[in-house]
Chain A
Amino acid sequence: MGFAYDFDWGVLWRQPYGIWLLQGLWLTIKIGFVAWIVAFFLGVLVGTLRVTPWRWLRFISTAYTEIFRNIPFLVQLFFWYYAGPMIFGESLGRQINQIVGLNFYVAILALGLYTASRVAEHMRAGFASISRDQYQAVLSTGMTQYQMYRYVIIPYALRIIIPPLTTEFLTIFKNSSVAMTIGVAELTFMSYRIDAETFHGLEATTGAMVIYLILGLTVVRAMGIIEARFKIPGMIGRE
């Protein structure tokens, strides 16, 4: 059987297409990094609130994780992008819609909020793995609740959950591809755009796959170094 398809791998380095993929990669990295900063701090906060003694804060943070985990990310992204500005009323909403690069900011925000719920879940698991004695030992030194979380429990839990956080960090770059649906020109978007111009989508998406693979392997290697540096001996191990 002969394939009625002329492969043209040259499309990957012919200009401007090769540059497009690299520009897409750069945007993917930017979105991933900034969204991760949002996700990390918000996730640690929400995850910590889930174990605090205050019932209302526990309820709010639990609701947050349940809502963001149980709705597809695509739906969340569309909601923030299309419905988000409308929440602020007609006139303000129109102004928001005129912001240049709105889709980029919305993608970062949506991805950050979504990933925060996942970070919060890992945080909770991290807290659960710290024994009650540990908490009591800290309090017995005269620390306040706030000091206990700030200086002992949170850093401790974070070090325990580095492996799952590595996975989340990897996932954030993969999920950033969903931003293409609102027109953010990241890597997947660019491979699709090359198809629209050249009809060589197979080569373009294969090229994008290789780039994602290299990105993923780089992240794993970098996180491996961080893991080795911060691990608590005898407490974490990768599967």
Chain B
Amino acid sequence: MFDAVARNITFLLGGFVVTLQLTFFALAGGIALGALVGLGRISKNKWIFQPVTLYVNFIRNMPLILVIFWFYFVMPIIAGRPLNPFLSAVISFIIFEATYFGEIFRAGYQSISKDLTSAAYSTGMTYIQTARYILIPVAFRRMLPSLITQSIVTFQDTSLAFVIGLQEFVRRTSIVDNLEVRSIQLFGFVAIIFFIFCFIASKISRHFEEKGRKLGMI
């Protein structure tokens, strides 16, 4: 049933490793930049707030594929030499996903009430202690389900690096399919692998959401 998959399994799994690498860099960069974007979105300084808001609203109106293409065209001009597709894809994912993570961080930051901060100060905690023991853990718990959900989306989004010829999971599957013409099992295989990973992650996200609700935090 999965004979064509079996014949090409090392090549296919090699593509899946590229997908995982893409996801890793996209998440690391996207979450780090997103945390800053979130800060910018609650900034009282309009020289920070307005450009960041413009960036977020602009990118969120764009299809990811177009952003991938745009960076694919613009990077060689900035760098002055052809850039490899992996680096170009990672940069587009970071710029793109950071706007989505940024909105999650903004909501997380805003969910912390002034009362909580005042209560912590009134027990004699310093600012560092308040942030370290109260604000960050509370905000993190509130954001965790959304962060996991957006990470799943990012994982799925990496498949779009297909369009600039990056040999990730889907691109390699379609290469194999061109030779073997076993579309049902090949694309079925990719679908199953993605499903297993995303389904488990979504269950984990839901688990944290339930837990947060029980603690009265969400």
Contact = CB atoms under 8 A, between A and B. Distances in A.
Interface of A: 1, 3-5, 66-67, 69-76, 78-79, 82-83, 86-87, 170, 173-178, 180-181, 188, 191-192, 195, 201-202, 205-206, 208-209, 212-213, 216-217, 239
B130 interface: no
Contact of B194 (A1, A5, A70, A213): A70
Which of B61, B78, B152, B174: most chain A CB closer than 10 A? Answer: B61
B70 A75 contact: no
A83 B186 CA distance: 9
B195 A71 contact: yes
B126 interface: no
Nearest to A201: B73
Given A70-B198, A74-B170, A212-B66, A86 B184 contact: yes
B121 interface: no
B77 A191 contact: no
Contact of B61 (A66, A201, A216): A216
Interface of B: 58, 61-66, 69-70, 72-74, 77-78, 80, 107, 152, 156-157, 159-160, 162-163, 170, 173-174, 177, 183-184, 186-188, 190-191, 194-195, 198-199, 202
Contacts of B72: 201
Given A73-B156, A83-B183, A83-B188, A191 B66 contact: yes
Contacts, number: 115
B159 A75 contact: yes
A177 B66 contact: yes
B70 A206 contact: yes
Going nearest first, the 8 A-B pairs with the smallest beta carbon separation are: A70-B198, A177-B63, A82-B183, A83-B183, A216-B61, A72-B156, A174-B63, A202-B73
A150 B127 CA distance: 55
Contacts of B177: 82
A83 B187 CA distance: 7
Nearest to B156: A72
24 contacts: A3-B78, A3-B80, A66-B202, A72-B170, A72-B194, A78-B170, A78-B173, A78-B187, A79-B188, A83-B186, A86-B183, A174-B61, A174-B63, A188-B66, A192-B69, A201-B69, A201-B72, A201-B73, A202-B77, A205-B70, A208-B66, A209-B62, A213-B62, A239-B107
Nearest to A68: B195
A177 B170 contact: no
A174 B156 CA distance: 15
B66 A70 contact: no
A51 B75 CA distance: 49
Contacts of B184: 83, 86-87
B193 to A, nearest CB: 9
B61 A178 contact: no
Given A170-B61, A206-B70, 4 more contacts: A71-B191, A74-B170, A188-B63, A205-B73
